[in-house]
Amino acid sequence: MMVQTRKQQTFLVTGGTGFLGSHVAVDLLSRGHRVLVLARGRSNSSASQRMEQLLNWFGIRKDQRMDLKILQGDLNRPGLGLDPRDARVVSRETDETVHCASDTSFSPDRREQVERTNILGLENLLDVVRESPCRALHLVSTAYVAGKSRGLCAEDFGQVREFHNVYEETKFRAEKIAAEHCAVNRITLYVYRPSIVYGNSTTGRTTLFKALYYPIRTLHFFQKLYTRDILENGGKKARDMQVLLGGNGVLHLPVRIQSSDECGLNLIPVDHFVEAFMAIRRGCPEGGVFHIVNPRSTTISRLADYTRRFFQLEGVRAVEPDEFLKQPRNGLELLFDSYIRYYGPYMQDRRIFENSRTSAILAGQNISCPEFSYQVFATCMRYAVETDWGRQL
C-alpha cells in the first residue's frame, strides 16, 4: 500500500509534549505538514500552554505554528477524550498517525498504569484511526522489545518469551496489536525501535534528562555536595567518604561502577532518531520494523572517562565485580550499584540489534548515526549543566 505523497499531509501525533513526540511533531511542521497534537493538560498548565512552551523551546516561528492544532484529550479514554469538534477534525483530516505516547515505567507496582497507557491507549487510538482516512500508522516502539533475547535481535515481529520489565512487555504486545489492526484495516504500519535516545548531538539540547543523564547527574550532585562541604563546612563529611579536593580543583570522588568492557549502552542522539524516522517514512512505502540503533555501543568505562574529563573528577571508574570483594561498596557506590543493576539490561547490554533494512534505507540517503564521542558528550553535558538538568527549562 502506498503512503499518500501530496504536498501537505495531516499527521495526528500522540505524546506530542513528550521527548520524541515533540521532536517528530516539530520536524513535520518544519517540513510543511499539518500536525494535530494530542496532549493532556496538567494541574498547573493546559495542553496548549505545555505545547506553546515546547514550541518556544524549539524556536518555532509563529507562522509555522499555523499548521499546528492542539487537541486536548486523553489517550486512556475512549475516543481519546476528544470533544466532538476535535473528534470530527481527526476523523476527517488525519492522513497518517504517529504514536509516540508511552509510559516508560519499569516498576511492577505500576503495571496497571503502564498497561493502561501502552495497551489500552493504543487500542483507543486505533479505534479512532479506523474511522479516519489515515492510511499509515507510525508506532514508536523500542529496541528493547527484544526482552531477554540473547545475541542477534532480528528486525521483525519475532517471538519473545521473557522480558525484563513491564515496559518491554507492553511495548511488545502493543506492536502485535498494531500489526493485527493494520493488517485487517489495510493501514501501512511502521514500527520504529530506537535504542537509548539522548539529546541533540550538535547542540546538546534536550528536554529529557533521564537514562544516560541520570547517573552522571548523580555524580555531579555529589561533586557539588562535597565540594561545598570542603569549602564551607570543613570537609568532615567529605573525609568520611574519602572525598578529597586537589589543589588543581579536581575532586577525588571514589565511585567504582561494576562493569565489563564486553558490554555497554546503545546510544543514539535525538536528531538521528528524527532524521532516520523521516528517511524511513520517505524511503519505505511498504512499512515494516526498523531498528534505529547505534552500530557501536559505549562502554561504562568510556562513559566514566568522559565524565571524569568533563566534570574534573578523579576516582570514578568502571571495575570488574571482583573488586568489590576486596573492598565493600561505600554509600555512593551503593546508590550506583542499585541503579546499574536495575538498568542492567540497557547499561550492560550484550545484545546486537540487527538493522540491515534500516541501514540500507539510511545509507541510501547518506544518513549515519553520529559517534558518541567526547565532543558529543561534552556538548550534551554542557547543556545539561546550563539548564540545571532541565530544572531551568
Partner 1 sequence: MFSEQARQTAGQCRHYAMCKIDYLGTGLCRSGEENQYVSHFPQGRMDIYHALCRGLVPITRGLVEIAGSCDLCGICDKQCHFVTGMRPVEVMRALKTHVRQWLEQGNQPVQAASDPDLEAMRRIVGDKWASNDPAVLLTYADDPFPLAGMRTPRYVALPKSREEVAALVRFANTRNLPYVVRGNGGSVFGFVFSDGLVMDMNRMKGIEIDRENWTARVEPGVTSFELQKEAVRHGLRANTAEPAATVCGNIVCTGLFSTWSNAYGVNADTFVDMEFIDSRGDFFRLNDPLAANAFCFEHKLTPAPGICTLAHVRLHPSTEDEEGLMVPFDDFEEAVLFARELSTRRIGLALGVLGGHYLSTFMSPSAELADKVRYGLTHALGLRYVVFMVGDRFAREAVRSMREFVIDSKLFRMLMLGLPRLGDDEWLDLVSGMHTDQPPYAILLRPEMYSLLEAVLRPSPETAAQAVDEDLQDFYAQLYARPQMTDMVWLNMFRIISARMSRRKHMFAFLVYVPLDRVQVIKQICGQLGRIADKYGIENDYGFLTPLDLGKRAILEYDYYIDHQDPLEKEKIRKALKEFEPYLDNLSASTKGVKWLKYIFSQGCARKEAFLYT
CA-nearest of 318, 307, 337, 338 to 264 is 318
Q: Does 157 bind partner 1 (CB under 8 A)?
A: no
Q: Interface with partner 1 by CB under 8 A: which range of 38-46, 53-61, 145-153, 225-233?
A: 225-233
Q: Does 109 bind partner 1 (CB under 8 A)?
A: yes
Is the Cβ–Cβ distance between 166 and 108 less than 8 Å? yes
Q: How far is the CB of 198 from partner 1 (least distance, A)?
A: 15
Residues 334-353, interacting with partner 1 (CB under 8 A) = 334-335, 338-339, 341-342
| Helix ranges (DSSP H) in 248-392 | 270-283, 300-311, 323-326, 331-342, 344-347, 356-364, 374-386
CA-nearest of 342, 347, 348, 345 to 107 is 342
Q: Does 219 bind partner 1 (CB under 8 A)?
A: no
Cα(359)–Cα(7) distance, integer angstroms: 27
Q: Interface with partner 1 by CB under 8 A: which range of 142-150, 154-162, 215-223, 274-282?
A: 215-223
One-letter identity of residue 182:
C
Q: Does 116 bind partner 1 (CB under 8 A)?
A: no
Q: Does 393 bind partner 1 (CB under 8 A)?
A: no
Q: How far is the CB of 229 from partner 1 (least distance, A)?
A: 6
Cα(347)–Cα(344) distance, integer angstroms: 5
Rounded to a whole number, what is the distance in angstroms from the first to the last CA of the chain? 42
Q: How far is the CB of 116 from partner 1 (least distance, A)?
A: 19
Residue with Cβ nearer partner 1 (286 or 386): 386
Residue with Cβ nearer partner 1 (226 or 290): 226
C-alpha cell at 201: 548531538
CA-nearest of 210, 223, 228 to 384 is 210
Helices and strands in the chain, H and E counts: 15, 14
Q: How far is the CB of 107 from partner 1 (least distance, A)?
A: 7
Residues 373-392, interacting with partner 1 (CB under 8 A) = 388-389, 391
Calculate the alpha carbon distances from 362 to 59, 292, 319 in Å.
27, 10, 37
Q: Which of 116, 173, 252, 329 binds partner 1 (CB under 8 A)?
A: 329
Sheet holding 244-245, edge to edge: 244-245, 251-258, 313-319
Q: Which of 238, 300, 313, 384 binds partner 1 (CB under 8 A)?
A: 238
Element (H, E) at 304: helix 300-311
Q: Does 221 bind partner 1 (CB under 8 A)?
A: yes
Residues 174-213, interacting with partner 1 (CB under 8 A) = 210
Residue with Cβ nearer partner 1 (154 or 334): 334
Residue with grid cell 493501514, as numbered in its chain:
187
Residue with Cβ nearer partner 1 (226 or 277): 226
Cα(140)–Cα(256) distance, integer angstroms: 35
C-alpha cell at 153: 535481535
Q: Does 105 bind partner 1 (CB under 8 A)?
A: yes
Q: Does 42 bind partner 1 (CB under 8 A)?
A: no
The residues that touch partner 1, with contacts defined as CB under 8 A, are 105-107, 109, 210, 214, 217-218, 221, 225-226, 229, 233, 237-238, 240-241, 329-332, 334-335, 338-339, 341-342, 388-389, 391
